[in-house]
């Protein structure tokens, strides 16, 4: 495996892990699942939710997609498309986290 492919895979995994941890932490503290409905709150809450949703979105997209496939019998093509979108989003957020860790000197 090339170093670039390994870096991309690691970014993808870090992004999904962070998204799952943020969403699970939100649900543990507030006893309701995180969702994109946070953006419909009043302005200060909606602005505060944007950074959270940037990193938690891959988990929310996958959770909503899999529930929609099971409950609403959504087509497999829709599930595949949402999985690809969540994967790219996860890879980009994971890249941001890795760059922040490198800048802080935590990761070489």
Rounded to 5 degrees, what are φ and ψ at 75?
Answer: -70, 155
pTM of the model: 0.88
Mean of pLDDT values over 73-87:
93
In Å, how far are 7, 26, 101 from 105, measured between CA atoms?
Answer: 17, 28, 6
What average pLDDT is seen over the chain? 93
Tens of pLDDT, residues 32-79? 999 999 999 999 999 999 999 999 999 999 999 999 888 988 889 999
What is the C-alpha separation between 10 and 3, in angstroms, rounded? 10
CA atoms within a 13 Å half-sphere pointing along the CA-CB vector of 108: 0
In Å, how far are 14, 35, 42, 63 from 45, measured between CA atoms?
Answer: 27, 13, 6, 23
């Amino acid at each position: 495996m090339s170093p670039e492919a390994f870096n991309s895979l690691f970014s993808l995994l870090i992004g999904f892990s962070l998204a799952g941890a943020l969403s699970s932490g939100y649900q543990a503290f507030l006893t309701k699942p995180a969702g994109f409905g946070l953006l419909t709150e009043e302005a200060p809450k909606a602005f505060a939710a944007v950074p959270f949703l940037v990193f938690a979105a891959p988990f929310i997209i996958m959770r909503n997609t899999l529930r929609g496939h099971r409950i609403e019998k959504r087509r497999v093509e829709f599930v595949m498309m949402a999985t690809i979108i969540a994967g790219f989003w996860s890879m980009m957020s994971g890249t941001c986290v890795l760059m922040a860790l490198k800048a802080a000197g935590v990761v070489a």
